[in-house]
Amino acid sequence: MDDLQALQEWTRLYIEGLGRTHRAEGRKSARVTHDCETWLRTAGFVNVSSDVRDVPTYERQRTIGAANLSNLKDLIRSLAQYPIVNRGVRSFEEFGALVEAACSELENAAARPHTMFGMKT
- Look at residues 117, 119, 120, 113 and name the one whose alpha carbon lies nearest to residue 36: 117
Strands (DSSP E) found in 1-121:
45-52, 114-120
Give the per-residue pLDDT at 1.
39
Q: Where are the domains of the chain?
A: 5-120
Give the per-residue pLDDT at 59.
52
Give the per-residue pLDDT at 111.
64
Average pLDDT along the chain, 121 residues, taken 10 residues at a time? 78 86 68 77 85 57 71 88 92 96 81 60 60
Cα Rg of the chain (Å, integer): 16
Give the per-residue pLDDT at 52.
61
CA torsion sign, 82 to 17 to 1 to 61?
A: negative
Name the strand (E) or helix (H) holding 14. helix 5-19
